[in-house]
Structure 1
Protein backbone atom coordinates (compact mmCIF):
# COMPACT_ATOMS: atom_id res chain seq x y z
CA UNK A 1 0.00 0.00 0.00
CA UNK A 2 1.40 3.38 -0.98
CA UNK A 3 2.50 5.59 1.91
CA UNK A 4 1.63 9.28 2.14
CA UNK A 5 5.33 10.12 1.96
CA UNK A 6 5.66 8.27 -1.35
CA UNK A 7 2.70 10.17 -2.77
CA UNK A 8 4.09 13.52 -1.61
CA UNK A 9 7.44 12.69 -3.21
CA UNK A 10 5.71 11.67 -6.43
CA UNK A 11 3.70 14.91 -6.51
CA UNK A 12 6.81 17.01 -5.93
CA UNK A 13 8.76 15.25 -8.68
CA UNK A 14 5.89 16.06 -11.05
CA UNK A 15 6.07 19.70 -9.91
CA UNK A 16 9.85 20.06 -10.31
CA UNK A 17 10.37 17.63 -13.18
CA UNK A 18 13.68 16.81 -11.55
CA UNK A 19 14.77 14.21 -8.96
CA UNK A 20 17.63 16.38 -7.73
CA UNK A 21 15.42 19.42 -7.20
CA UNK A 22 12.87 17.36 -5.26
CA UNK A 23 15.59 15.91 -3.03
CA UNK A 24 16.71 19.46 -2.20
CA UNK A 25 13.18 20.73 -1.53
CA UNK A 26 12.18 17.78 0.64
CA UNK A 27 15.62 17.45 2.30
CA UNK A 28 16.05 13.86 1.13
CA UNK A 29 18.88 12.13 -0.68
CA UNK A 30 18.50 11.57 -4.42
CA UNK A 31 18.59 7.75 -4.01
CA UNK A 32 15.77 8.00 -1.44
CA UNK A 33 13.60 9.96 -3.86
CA UNK A 34 14.31 7.48 -6.66
CA UNK A 35 13.46 4.53 -4.38
CA UNK A 36 10.11 6.10 -3.43
CA UNK A 37 9.21 6.48 -7.10
CA UNK A 38 10.40 2.96 -7.90
CA UNK A 39 8.29 1.55 -5.06
CA UNK A 40 5.17 3.18 -6.51
CA UNK A 41 5.92 1.96 -10.01
CA UNK A 42 6.54 -1.56 -8.69
CA UNK A 43 3.27 -1.53 -6.71
CA UNK A 44 1.18 -0.49 -9.71
CA UNK A 45 3.18 -2.43 -12.29
CA UNK A 46 3.68 0.49 -14.67
CA UNK A 47 6.18 3.24 -15.37
CA UNK A 48 5.05 6.69 -14.20
CA UNK A 49 7.97 8.71 -15.56
CA UNK A 50 10.06 8.87 -18.69
CA UNK A 51 13.67 9.61 -17.66
CA UNK A 52 15.78 11.95 -19.79
CA UNK A 53 19.01 13.90 -19.37
CA UNK A 54 16.90 16.99 -18.69
CA UNK A 55 14.81 15.40 -15.94
CA UNK A 56 11.61 13.38 -15.83
CA UNK A 57 8.22 13.64 -17.53
CA UNK A 58 4.95 11.88 -16.76
CA UNK A 59 3.90 8.93 -18.89
CA UNK A 60 0.26 8.46 -19.84
CA UNK A 61 -0.21 6.18 -16.82
CA UNK A 62 1.59 8.75 -14.70
CA UNK A 63 -0.87 11.45 -15.78
CA UNK A 64 -3.82 9.31 -14.68
CA UNK A 65 -2.16 8.45 -11.36
CA UNK A 66 -1.25 12.09 -10.66
CA UNK A 67 -4.88 13.25 -10.52
CA UNK A 68 -5.69 10.62 -7.88
CA UNK A 69 -2.55 11.47 -5.90
CA UNK A 70 -3.58 15.13 -5.74
CA UNK A 71 -7.01 14.17 -4.39
CA UNK A 72 -5.62 11.71 -1.83
CA UNK A 73 -3.13 14.23 -0.45
CA UNK A 74 -5.79 16.95 -0.38
CA UNK A 75 -8.24 14.77 1.55
CA UNK A 76 -5.55 13.65 3.98
CA UNK A 77 -4.58 17.22 4.82
CA UNK A 78 -8.24 18.22 5.17
CA UNK A 79 -8.79 15.35 7.59
CA UNK A 80 -5.79 16.42 9.68
CA UNK A 81 -7.04 20.01 9.83
CA UNK A 82 -10.56 18.96 10.80
CA UNK A 83 -9.23 16.78 13.61
CA UNK A 84 -6.85 19.51 14.79
CA UNK A 85 -9.69 22.03 14.98
CA UNK A 86 -11.87 19.58 16.90
CA UNK A 87 -9.13 18.78 19.38
CA UNK A 88 -9.16 21.11 22.39
CA UNK A 89 -5.37 21.01 22.65
CA UNK A 90 -5.14 23.08 19.45
CA UNK A 91 -7.66 25.75 20.39
CA UNK A 92 -6.39 29.24 21.01
CA UNK A 93 -3.14 28.82 19.07
CA UNK A 94 -2.05 30.71 15.97
CA UNK A 95 0.69 29.32 13.75
CA UNK A 96 1.94 31.92 11.29
CA UNK A 97 4.92 32.19 8.97
CA UNK A 98 6.62 35.40 7.90
CA UNK A 99 9.47 36.31 5.58
CA UNK A 100 12.47 38.01 7.17
CA UNK A 101 11.59 41.67 6.58
CA UNK A 102 8.00 41.20 7.72
CA UNK A 103 8.95 38.92 10.59
CA UNK A 104 11.63 41.21 11.99
CA UNK A 105 10.15 44.66 11.34
CA UNK A 106 6.33 44.37 11.10
CA UNK A 107 5.14 41.16 12.77
CA UNK A 108 6.06 42.29 16.33
CA UNK A 109 3.70 45.28 15.96
CA UNK A 110 0.91 43.05 14.60
CA UNK A 111 1.34 40.51 17.39
CA UNK A 112 1.40 43.20 20.07
CA UNK A 113 -1.83 44.71 18.76
CA UNK A 114 -3.54 41.35 18.45
CA UNK A 115 -2.57 40.24 21.95
CA UNK A 116 -3.70 43.54 23.46
CA UNK A 117 -7.20 42.88 22.08
CA UNK A 118 -7.41 39.09 22.32
CA UNK A 119 -5.62 38.34 25.58
CA UNK A 120 -3.31 35.37 26.04
CA UNK A 121 -3.71 33.65 22.68
CA UNK A 122 -0.58 31.65 21.90
CA UNK A 123 1.23 32.71 18.72
CA UNK A 124 3.96 30.62 17.13
CA UNK A 125 5.84 32.40 14.32
CA UNK A 126 8.19 30.80 11.81
CA UNK A 127 10.61 33.18 10.05
CA UNK A 128 11.88 31.88 6.70
CA UNK A 129 12.12 32.83 3.02
CA UNK A 130 9.14 32.85 0.67
CA UNK A 131 9.88 29.49 -0.94
CA UNK A 132 10.02 27.65 2.39
CA UNK A 133 6.84 29.27 3.71
CA UNK A 134 4.97 28.64 0.46
CA UNK A 135 5.90 24.99 0.70
CA UNK A 136 4.67 24.82 4.30
CA UNK A 137 1.33 26.39 3.34
CA UNK A 138 0.96 23.97 0.43
CA UNK A 139 1.69 21.02 2.76
CA UNK A 140 -0.67 22.44 5.43
CA UNK A 141 2.14 22.79 7.98
CA UNK A 142 1.18 26.48 8.14
CA UNK A 143 -2.27 27.98 7.66
CA UNK A 144 -1.11 31.59 7.26
CA UNK A 145 2.10 33.09 5.86
CA UNK A 146 3.00 36.75 5.43
CA UNK A 147 5.33 37.05 2.46
CA UNK A 148 7.09 39.70 0.40
CA UNK A 149 7.73 39.97 -3.30
CA UNK A 150 6.79 37.48 -6.05
CA UNK A 151 4.57 34.55 -5.08
CA UNK A 152 5.14 31.06 -6.54
CA UNK A 153 2.51 30.14 -9.13
CA UNK A 154 0.26 27.52 -7.60
CA UNK A 155 -3.52 27.08 -8.10
CA UNK A 156 -3.99 26.12 -4.44
CA UNK A 157 -2.66 29.46 -3.16
CA UNK A 158 -4.84 32.39 -2.16
CA UNK A 159 -2.81 35.61 -2.15
CA UNK A 160 -4.06 38.90 -0.70
CA UNK A 161 -1.98 42.08 -0.56
CA UNK A 162 -2.12 43.82 2.83
CA UNK A 163 0.68 46.40 2.55
CA UNK A 164 3.26 47.82 0.14
CA UNK A 165 6.98 48.12 0.73
CA UNK A 166 9.68 50.01 -1.14
CA UNK A 167 13.35 49.22 -1.65
CA UNK A 168 15.77 52.12 -1.36
CA UNK A 169 19.48 52.69 -1.87
CA UNK A 170 21.30 53.19 1.43
CA UNK A 171 24.68 54.91 1.81
CA UNK A 172 26.77 55.93 4.85
CA UNK A 173 26.42 59.52 6.07
CA UNK A 174 29.88 60.50 4.81
CA UNK A 175 29.12 59.30 1.24
CA UNK A 176 29.17 61.91 -1.59
CA UNK A 177 25.52 61.07 -2.33
CA UNK A 178 24.29 61.80 1.20
CA UNK A 179 22.75 65.16 0.14
CA UNK A 180 20.99 63.71 -2.90
CA UNK A 181 17.43 62.41 -3.05
CA UNK A 182 17.78 60.30 -6.19
CA UNK A 183 20.58 58.79 -8.25
CA UNK A 184 20.76 57.27 -11.73
CA UNK A 185 21.45 53.66 -12.65
CA UNK A 186 24.76 54.62 -14.26
CA UNK A 187 25.89 56.08 -10.93
CA UNK A 188 24.99 52.83 -9.21
CA UNK A 189 27.33 50.88 -11.48
CA UNK A 190 30.30 52.90 -10.18
CA UNK A 191 29.81 51.77 -6.57
CA UNK A 192 30.47 48.52 -4.76
CA UNK A 193 27.08 46.92 -4.08
CA UNK A 194 26.21 44.74 -1.10
CA UNK A 195 23.16 42.52 -1.68
CA UNK A 196 21.10 39.77 -0.13
CA UNK A 197 21.84 36.22 -1.20
CA UNK A 198 20.37 34.54 -4.28
CA UNK A 199 16.80 33.39 -3.61
CA UNK A 200 15.89 36.13 -1.15
CA UNK A 201 12.68 38.10 -1.80
CA UNK A 202 14.55 41.42 -1.67
CA UNK A 203 17.08 40.25 -4.26
CA UNK A 204 14.34 39.03 -6.62
CA UNK A 205 12.41 42.31 -6.41
CA UNK A 206 15.58 44.26 -7.18
CA UNK A 207 16.48 42.10 -10.18
CA UNK A 208 12.95 42.22 -11.60
CA UNK A 209 12.70 45.99 -11.15
CA UNK A 210 15.93 46.63 -13.04
CA UNK A 211 14.89 44.30 -15.86
CA UNK A 212 11.43 45.85 -16.07
CA UNK A 213 12.95 49.31 -16.50
CA UNK A 214 15.50 48.21 -19.11
CA UNK A 215 18.57 48.16 -16.84
CA UNK A 216 21.07 45.32 -16.92
CA UNK A 217 21.53 43.86 -13.46
CA UNK A 218 24.84 42.31 -14.58
CA UNK A 219 26.32 45.82 -14.94
CA UNK A 220 26.25 46.31 -11.17
CA UNK A 221 29.46 45.83 -9.21
CA UNK A 222 28.33 43.25 -6.64
CA UNK A 223 31.16 42.78 -4.17
CA UNK A 224 29.44 41.09 -1.25
CA UNK A 225 26.37 38.90 -0.67
CA UNK A 226 24.99 38.55 2.86
CA UNK A 227 22.09 36.53 4.23
CA UNK A 228 21.10 39.10 6.84
CA UNK A 229 19.67 42.59 6.46
CA UNK A 230 21.28 43.61 9.73
CA UNK A 231 24.68 42.50 8.42
CA UNK A 232 24.13 44.50 5.22
CA UNK A 233 23.31 47.67 7.17
CA UNK A 234 26.40 47.24 9.32
CA UNK A 235 28.59 46.68 6.24
CA UNK A 236 27.27 49.90 4.67
CA UNK A 237 27.87 51.85 7.88
CA UNK A 238 31.45 50.53 7.87
CA UNK A 239 32.01 51.92 4.37
CA UNK A 240 32.22 48.56 2.59
CA UNK A 241 29.75 49.64 -0.09
CA UNK A 242 26.14 50.65 -0.69
CA UNK A 243 23.02 48.48 -0.68
CA UNK A 244 19.42 48.28 -1.86
CA UNK A 245 17.09 47.09 0.89
CA UNK A 246 13.60 47.65 2.31
CA UNK A 247 12.81 51.11 3.63
CA UNK A 248 11.11 49.38 6.56
CA UNK A 249 14.45 48.04 7.75
CA UNK A 250 16.38 51.34 7.88
CA UNK A 251 13.94 53.79 9.45
CA UNK A 252 15.70 53.94 12.80
CA UNK A 253 19.17 54.35 11.26
CA UNK A 254 17.93 57.15 9.00
CA UNK A 255 16.27 59.00 11.87
CA UNK A 256 19.45 58.72 13.93
CA UNK A 257 21.57 60.04 11.06
CA UNK A 258 23.54 56.81 10.66
CA UNK A 259 22.44 56.02 7.10
CA UNK A 260 20.91 57.94 4.18
CA UNK A 261 18.15 56.51 1.97
CA UNK A 262 17.91 57.41 -1.75
CA UNK A 263 15.73 56.40 -4.66
CA UNK A 264 16.81 55.35 -8.17
CA UNK A 265 15.66 57.58 -11.03
CA UNK A 266 13.16 56.00 -13.41
CA UNK A 267 13.04 52.74 -11.48
CA UNK A 268 10.30 51.71 -9.05
CA UNK A 269 11.21 49.24 -6.33
CA UNK A 270 7.79 48.86 -4.75
CA UNK A 271 6.61 45.39 -3.82
CA UNK A 272 3.45 43.94 -2.28
CA UNK A 273 3.41 42.33 1.15
CA UNK A 274 0.85 39.55 1.03
CA UNK A 275 -1.18 37.12 3.11
CA UNK A 276 -0.71 33.60 1.74
CA UNK A 277 -3.19 30.85 2.59
CA UNK A 278 -4.27 27.55 1.07
CA UNK A 279 -7.36 27.86 -1.15
CA UNK A 280 -8.89 24.74 0.42
CA UNK A 281 -7.46 25.25 3.87
CA UNK A 282 -9.38 25.70 7.10
CA UNK A 283 -8.53 28.57 9.44
CA UNK A 284 -9.23 28.45 13.15
CA UNK A 285 -11.36 31.28 14.58
CA UNK A 286 -8.21 32.81 16.10
CA UNK A 287 -6.38 32.66 12.77
CA UNK A 288 -9.34 34.31 11.07
CA UNK A 289 -9.29 37.10 13.68
CA UNK A 290 -5.55 37.51 13.16
CA UNK A 291 -6.02 37.90 9.41
CA UNK A 292 -8.85 40.37 9.91
CA UNK A 293 -6.46 42.57 11.89
CA UNK A 294 -3.91 42.42 9.06
CA UNK A 295 -6.61 43.36 6.54
CA UNK A 296 -7.50 46.47 8.54
CA UNK A 297 -5.54 49.20 6.74
CA UNK A 298 -6.61 51.90 9.18
CA UNK A 299 -5.33 49.87 12.11
CA UNK A 300 -2.06 49.03 10.37
CA UNK A 301 -1.44 52.73 9.73
CA UNK A 302 -1.80 53.29 13.47
CA UNK A 303 0.44 50.47 14.67
CA UNK A 304 3.19 50.35 12.03
CA UNK A 305 6.21 52.68 12.33
CA UNK A 306 5.88 55.86 10.26
CA UNK A 307 7.89 55.42 7.00
CA UNK A 308 11.06 57.48 6.84
CA UNK A 309 10.85 60.30 4.30
Structure 2
Protein backbone atom coordinates (compact mmCIF):
# COMPACT_ATOMS: atom_id res chain seq x y z
CA UNK A 1 0.00 0.00 0.00
CA UNK A 2 2.86 2.39 0.72
CA UNK A 3 4.02 2.02 -2.89
CA UNK A 4 0.54 2.98 -4.12
CA UNK A 5 0.63 6.09 -1.90
CA UNK A 6 4.09 7.07 -3.21
CA UNK A 7 2.84 6.76 -6.78
CA UNK A 8 -0.28 8.82 -6.01
CA UNK A 9 1.83 11.54 -4.31
CA UNK A 10 4.25 11.73 -7.24
CA UNK A 11 1.44 12.09 -9.80
CA UNK A 12 -0.35 14.68 -7.64
CA UNK A 13 2.81 16.79 -7.37
CA UNK A 14 4.12 16.49 -10.92
CA UNK A 15 0.63 16.60 -12.47
CA UNK A 16 2.04 14.39 -15.17
CA UNK A 17 2.17 10.59 -15.43
CA UNK A 18 5.15 10.66 -17.81
CA UNK A 19 7.23 12.77 -15.39
CA UNK A 20 6.17 10.55 -12.49
CA UNK A 21 7.24 7.41 -14.35
CA UNK A 22 10.72 8.89 -14.89
CA UNK A 23 10.97 10.03 -11.31
CA UNK A 24 9.88 6.66 -9.88
CA UNK A 25 11.60 4.53 -12.58
CA UNK A 26 8.31 2.82 -13.34
CA UNK A 27 6.37 2.28 -16.56
CA UNK A 28 3.44 4.58 -17.32
CA UNK A 29 0.92 1.68 -17.53
CA UNK A 30 2.04 0.49 -14.08
CA UNK A 31 1.48 3.95 -12.61
CA UNK A 32 -1.93 4.29 -14.28
CA UNK A 33 -2.93 0.86 -12.96
CA UNK A 34 -1.94 1.71 -9.37
CA UNK A 35 -3.89 4.98 -9.51
CA UNK A 36 -6.91 3.11 -10.90
CA UNK A 37 -6.66 0.52 -8.10
CA UNK A 38 -6.65 3.29 -5.48
CA UNK A 39 -9.65 4.99 -7.06
CA UNK A 40 -11.52 1.67 -7.16
CA UNK A 41 -10.62 0.91 -3.55
CA UNK A 42 -11.84 4.28 -2.26
CA UNK A 43 -14.74 4.62 -4.70
CA UNK A 44 -13.72 8.05 -5.95
CA UNK A 45 -12.04 9.68 -8.93
CA UNK A 46 -8.86 11.38 -7.74
CA UNK A 47 -7.66 12.94 -11.01
CA UNK A 48 -9.11 14.81 -13.95
CA UNK A 49 -7.18 13.74 -17.03
CA UNK A 50 -6.47 16.07 -19.99
CA UNK A 51 -4.04 16.15 -22.89
CA UNK A 52 -1.82 18.49 -20.83
CA UNK A 53 -1.62 16.22 -17.79
CA UNK A 54 -3.69 15.53 -14.69
CA UNK A 55 -5.13 17.65 -11.88
CA UNK A 56 -6.54 16.64 -8.51
CA UNK A 57 -10.27 16.49 -8.08
CA UNK A 58 -11.84 17.72 -4.84
CA UNK A 59 -11.75 14.13 -3.54
CA UNK A 60 -8.14 13.84 -4.75
CA UNK A 61 -7.10 16.93 -2.77
CA UNK A 62 -8.61 15.44 0.40
CA UNK A 63 -6.85 12.13 -0.25
CA UNK A 64 -3.53 13.88 -1.03
CA UNK A 65 -3.48 15.60 2.39
CA UNK A 66 -4.00 12.26 4.16
CA UNK A 67 -1.44 10.45 1.97
CA UNK A 68 1.22 13.01 2.88
CA UNK A 69 0.48 12.54 6.57
CA UNK A 70 0.61 8.74 6.31
CA UNK A 71 3.91 8.79 4.39
CA UNK A 72 5.43 11.19 6.94
CA UNK A 73 4.36 8.88 9.78
CA UNK A 74 5.86 5.85 8.00
CA UNK A 75 9.09 7.74 7.28
CA UNK A 76 9.45 8.79 10.93
CA UNK A 77 8.75 5.21 12.02
CA UNK A 78 11.55 3.93 9.78
CA UNK A 79 13.94 6.55 11.18
CA UNK A 80 13.12 5.58 14.76
CA UNK A 81 13.45 1.86 14.01
CA UNK A 82 16.84 2.40 12.38
CA UNK A 83 17.97 4.54 15.32
CA UNK A 84 16.89 1.81 17.74
CA UNK A 85 18.94 -0.85 15.99
CA UNK A 86 22.42 -1.61 17.21
CA UNK A 87 24.14 -0.69 13.95
CA UNK A 88 26.74 1.63 12.52
CA UNK A 89 25.25 5.13 12.29
CA UNK A 90 24.71 6.61 8.85
CA UNK A 91 23.97 10.20 7.78
CA UNK A 92 22.67 10.91 4.28
CA UNK A 93 24.24 14.18 3.23
CA UNK A 94 23.83 16.32 0.11
CA UNK A 95 25.91 19.26 -1.10
CA UNK A 96 26.19 21.56 -4.08
CA UNK A 97 29.38 21.51 -6.16
CA UNK A 98 31.53 24.18 -4.48
CA UNK A 99 30.70 22.94 -0.99
CA UNK A 100 31.10 19.31 -2.02
CA UNK A 101 34.48 19.92 -3.63
CA UNK A 102 36.11 22.45 -1.32
CA UNK A 103 34.42 22.32 2.11
CA UNK A 104 32.96 18.87 2.68
CA UNK A 105 36.17 16.81 2.29
CA UNK A 106 37.88 18.55 5.23
CA UNK A 107 34.74 18.40 7.38
CA UNK A 108 34.27 14.68 6.75
CA UNK A 109 37.97 13.95 7.28
CA UNK A 110 37.78 15.75 10.63
CA UNK A 111 34.61 13.90 11.69
CA UNK A 112 36.02 10.52 10.64
CA UNK A 113 38.87 11.16 13.08
CA UNK A 114 36.74 12.46 15.96
CA UNK A 115 33.67 10.20 15.45
CA UNK A 116 34.78 7.05 13.60
CA UNK A 117 31.51 5.25 14.38
CA UNK A 118 29.50 7.60 12.13
CA UNK A 119 29.33 6.98 8.37
CA UNK A 120 28.27 9.44 5.68
CA UNK A 121 26.61 8.78 2.34
CA UNK A 122 27.13 11.88 0.19
CA UNK A 123 25.37 13.14 -2.93
CA UNK A 124 26.81 16.07 -4.93
CA UNK A 125 24.18 17.77 -7.09
CA UNK A 126 22.57 21.12 -7.89
CA UNK A 127 20.44 23.11 -5.46
CA UNK A 128 17.12 21.94 -6.92
CA UNK A 129 18.03 18.25 -6.62
CA UNK A 130 19.39 18.59 -3.07
CA UNK A 131 16.32 20.55 -1.96
CA UNK A 132 13.92 17.97 -3.39
CA UNK A 133 15.78 15.11 -1.70
CA UNK A 134 15.61 16.91 1.66
CA UNK A 135 11.87 17.45 1.23
CA UNK A 136 11.40 13.78 0.36
CA UNK A 137 13.63 12.76 3.31
CA UNK A 138 16.10 10.97 1.05
CA UNK A 139 18.80 13.26 2.45
CA UNK A 140 19.03 14.20 6.14
CA UNK A 141 21.11 17.36 5.69
CA UNK A 142 21.62 19.46 2.56
CA UNK A 143 24.37 22.06 2.17
CA UNK A 144 23.81 24.60 -0.59
CA UNK A 145 25.29 27.89 -1.83
CA UNK A 146 23.42 30.95 -3.00
CA UNK A 147 19.64 31.60 -3.05
CA UNK A 148 17.47 29.21 -1.04
CA UNK A 149 14.07 28.05 -2.32
CA UNK A 150 11.11 28.69 0.00
CA UNK A 151 8.99 25.81 1.21
CA UNK A 152 6.96 25.32 4.37
CA UNK A 153 8.62 21.94 5.04
CA UNK A 154 12.14 23.32 4.59
CA UNK A 155 14.23 24.59 7.50
CA UNK A 156 17.10 26.88 6.44
CA UNK A 157 20.09 27.87 8.58
CA UNK A 158 22.97 29.98 7.26
CA UNK A 159 26.37 28.71 8.39
CA UNK A 160 28.90 30.72 6.38
CA UNK A 161 29.19 33.93 4.37
CA UNK A 162 31.25 33.06 1.31
CA UNK A 163 32.99 36.02 -0.34
CA UNK A 164 33.34 36.13 -4.11
CA UNK A 165 36.76 37.56 -4.92
CA UNK A 166 38.72 38.52 -8.01
CA UNK A 167 41.39 35.85 -8.58
CA UNK A 168 44.54 36.55 -10.59
CA UNK A 169 47.79 34.61 -11.13
CA UNK A 170 50.53 35.53 -8.68
CA UNK A 171 52.64 37.05 -11.49
CA UNK A 172 49.86 39.46 -12.59
CA UNK A 173 50.63 43.23 -12.43
CA UNK A 174 47.86 43.60 -9.82
CA UNK A 175 49.43 40.99 -7.53
CA UNK A 176 50.98 43.62 -5.26
CA UNK A 177 47.49 44.93 -4.45
CA UNK A 178 44.82 43.68 -2.03
CA UNK A 179 41.76 45.05 -3.83
CA UNK A 180 40.44 46.53 -7.07
CA UNK A 181 37.47 48.69 -8.01
CA UNK A 182 34.48 47.63 -10.07
CA UNK A 183 35.53 50.07 -12.79
CA UNK A 184 38.75 48.10 -13.32
CA UNK A 185 37.05 44.76 -14.02
CA UNK A 186 36.30 45.46 -17.73
CA UNK A 187 40.01 46.16 -18.32
CA UNK A 188 40.94 42.46 -18.08
CA UNK A 189 39.87 39.26 -19.84
CA UNK A 190 37.33 37.52 -17.60
CA UNK A 191 36.94 33.74 -17.29
CA UNK A 192 33.59 32.66 -15.82
CA UNK A 193 31.44 29.62 -15.12
CA UNK A 194 28.91 28.66 -17.79
CA UNK A 195 25.61 30.50 -18.14
CA UNK A 196 23.15 29.05 -15.60
CA UNK A 197 25.78 28.26 -12.98
CA UNK A 198 24.86 29.32 -9.43
CA UNK A 199 28.21 31.07 -8.90
CA UNK A 200 27.84 33.03 -12.13
CA UNK A 201 24.25 33.97 -11.30
CA UNK A 202 25.28 35.36 -7.90
CA UNK A 203 28.20 37.25 -9.49
CA UNK A 204 26.07 38.81 -12.23
CA UNK A 205 23.27 39.80 -9.84
CA UNK A 206 25.74 41.39 -7.41
CA UNK A 207 27.62 43.33 -10.08
CA UNK A 208 24.40 44.54 -11.67
CA UNK A 209 23.03 45.67 -8.29
CA UNK A 210 26.24 47.67 -7.81
CA UNK A 211 25.72 49.55 -11.06
CA UNK A 212 28.10 47.68 -13.39
CA UNK A 213 26.86 47.12 -16.94
CA UNK A 214 27.49 43.39 -17.56
CA UNK A 215 27.94 44.07 -21.29
CA UNK A 216 31.11 45.96 -20.40
CA UNK A 217 32.78 42.81 -19.05
CA UNK A 218 35.29 41.23 -21.40
CA UNK A 219 34.20 37.58 -20.96
CA UNK A 220 36.60 35.52 -23.07
CA UNK A 221 35.89 32.01 -21.72
CA UNK A 222 32.97 30.19 -20.11
CA UNK A 223 33.94 26.91 -18.45
CA UNK A 224 31.93 24.17 -16.77
CA UNK A 225 33.95 23.73 -13.58
CA UNK A 226 35.84 25.79 -11.03
CA UNK A 227 38.91 23.57 -11.46
CA UNK A 228 39.03 24.31 -15.20
CA UNK A 229 38.79 28.04 -14.48
CA UNK A 230 41.65 27.83 -11.99
CA UNK A 231 43.88 26.09 -14.54
CA UNK A 232 43.18 28.75 -17.18
CA UNK A 233 43.81 31.60 -14.74
CA UNK A 234 47.05 30.03 -13.46
CA UNK A 235 48.25 29.95 -17.08
CA UNK A 236 47.75 33.72 -17.32
CA UNK A 237 44.86 33.58 -19.80
CA UNK A 238 42.54 35.80 -17.79
CA UNK A 239 41.16 36.62 -14.34
CA UNK A 240 38.03 35.30 -12.65
CA UNK A 241 35.51 36.01 -9.88
CA UNK A 242 34.95 32.93 -7.73
CA UNK A 243 34.52 31.79 -4.15
CA UNK A 244 37.43 32.65 -1.85
CA UNK A 245 37.08 29.17 -0.35
CA UNK A 246 38.02 27.53 -3.65
CA UNK A 247 41.40 29.26 -3.91
CA UNK A 248 42.45 29.43 -0.27
CA UNK A 249 45.15 26.79 -0.62
CA UNK A 250 46.54 28.13 -3.94
CA UNK A 251 46.75 31.62 -2.45
CA UNK A 252 48.75 30.22 0.49
CA UNK A 253 51.03 28.50 -2.05
CA UNK A 254 51.51 31.79 -3.98
CA UNK A 255 49.91 30.40 -7.14
CA UNK A 256 47.03 32.88 -7.02
CA UNK A 257 46.34 36.23 -5.45
CA UNK A 258 42.78 37.02 -4.41
CA UNK A 259 41.61 40.63 -4.49
CA UNK A 260 38.61 42.05 -2.72
CA UNK A 261 36.19 44.19 -4.71
CA UNK A 262 37.01 47.49 -3.06
CA UNK A 263 33.81 49.48 -3.35
CA UNK A 264 31.32 46.62 -3.26
CA UNK A 265 32.33 43.31 -1.64
CA UNK A 266 30.17 40.40 -2.80
CA UNK A 267 29.00 37.74 -0.35
CA UNK A 268 26.69 34.76 -0.75
CA UNK A 269 25.28 32.63 2.07
CA UNK A 270 26.08 28.96 2.49
CA UNK A 271 23.06 27.27 4.03
CA UNK A 272 22.02 24.10 5.86
CA UNK A 273 18.74 22.56 4.69
CA UNK A 274 16.79 20.10 6.82
CA UNK A 275 13.23 18.83 6.69
CA UNK A 276 11.09 20.81 9.12
CA UNK A 277 8.98 17.70 9.80
CA UNK A 278 11.98 15.59 10.90
CA UNK A 279 13.86 15.56 14.18
CA UNK A 280 17.65 15.44 13.87
CA UNK A 281 19.57 12.61 15.51
CA UNK A 282 22.45 13.30 17.88
CA UNK A 283 24.92 12.64 15.06
CA UNK A 284 23.17 15.01 12.67
CA UNK A 285 23.15 17.73 15.33
CA UNK A 286 26.86 17.13 15.82
CA UNK A 287 27.52 17.98 12.18
CA UNK A 288 25.18 20.99 12.24
CA UNK A 289 26.83 22.32 15.41
CA UNK A 290 30.26 21.99 13.79
CA UNK A 291 29.05 24.03 10.81
CA UNK A 292 27.80 26.75 13.16
CA UNK A 293 31.10 26.86 15.12
CA UNK A 294 32.84 29.44 12.90
CA UNK A 295 36.15 29.32 14.74
CA UNK A 296 36.41 25.52 14.59
CA UNK A 297 35.08 25.36 11.01
CA UNK A 298 37.58 27.96 9.82
CA UNK A 299 40.35 26.00 11.52
CA UNK A 300 39.22 22.72 9.92
CA UNK A 301 38.99 24.27 6.44
CA UNK A 302 42.46 25.80 6.63
CA UNK A 303 44.30 22.51 7.34
CA UNK A 304 45.50 19.69 5.13
CA UNK A 305 44.61 16.08 5.99
CA UNK A 306 47.71 15.37 8.10
CA UNK A 307 47.13 18.52 10.12
CA UNK A 308 43.47 17.56 10.50
CA UNK A 309 44.42 14.25 12.11
CA UNK A 310 46.71 16.00 14.60
CA UNK A 311 44.05 18.62 15.30
CA UNK A 312 41.34 15.99 15.82
CA UNK A 313 43.56 13.96 18.15
CA UNK A 314 44.34 17.08 20.16
CA UNK A 315 40.66 17.98 20.50
CA UNK A 316 39.80 14.45 21.62
CA UNK A 317 42.56 14.61 24.23
CA UNK A 318 41.35 18.00 25.48
CA UNK A 319 37.78 16.63 25.73
CA UNK A 320 39.00 13.54 27.60
CA UNK A 321 41.01 15.62 30.08
CA UNK A 322 38.04 17.89 30.76
CA UNK A 323 35.79 14.98 31.74
For the residue of structure 2 that corresponds to 1:88, the secondary structure is coil
Shift of 1:37: 6.7
Q: Residue 11 of structure 2 aligns with which residue?
A: 10
How many residues were matched structurally?
298
Q: Is the 8 A contact 1:49 1:62 kept in 2?
A: no
Root-mean-square deviation (CA), in Å? 3.4
2:133 aligned residue: 136
Q: Which residue of 2 aligns with 1:48?
A: 47
- 4+ runs deviating over 6 angstroms: 18-24
What SS class does the counterpart of residue 239 from structure 1 fall into? coil
Q: 1:20–1:248: structure 2 CA closer, same or farther, 3 Å change rule?
A: farther
Equivalent residue in structure 2 for 1:113, among 110, 113, 131: 110
Do the aligned partners of 1:172 and 1:260 also contact (CA within 8 Å) in 2?
A: yes
Question: CA contact under 8 A between 1:114 and 1:293: conserved in structure 2?
Answer: no
- The alpha-carbon deviation at position 249 of structure 1 amounts to 0.9
Structure 1: tracts of 5 or more residues without a match: none
Matches within 5 A, 1:112-191: 112-191=109-188
SS in 2 for 1:188: helix
Residue of structure 1 equivalent to 2:81:
83
Tell me, yes or no, if structure 1 residue 277 matches structure 2 residue 268.
no
2:285 corresponds to which of 278, 284, 288: 288
Equivalent residue of 1:155, what SS? Answer: coil
Deviation at 1:27, TM superposition (A): 7.8
* Inter-partner Cα distance in structure 2 for 1:178 and 1:21: 51
Distance 1:181 1:21 in 2: 50
**For residues 235-250 of structure 1, what are the structure 2 equivalents within 5 Å?**
235-250=232-247
Distance in 2 (CA, whole Å) between partners of 1:220 and 1:52 is 46
CA distance in 2, matches of 1:185, 1:202: 18
Contiguous gaps of at least 5 residues in structure 2: 304-323
1:186–1:115 distance in 2 versus 1, CA, 3 Å = same
Structure-1-length-normalised TM-score:
0.79
SS in 1 for 2:157: strand
CA shift in 2, pair 1:226/1:57, >3 Å: farther
Shift of 1:22: 6.8
Distance 1:67 1:223, change over 3 A: farther
**Distance between the aligned counterparts of 1:207 and 1:20, measured in 2?**
36
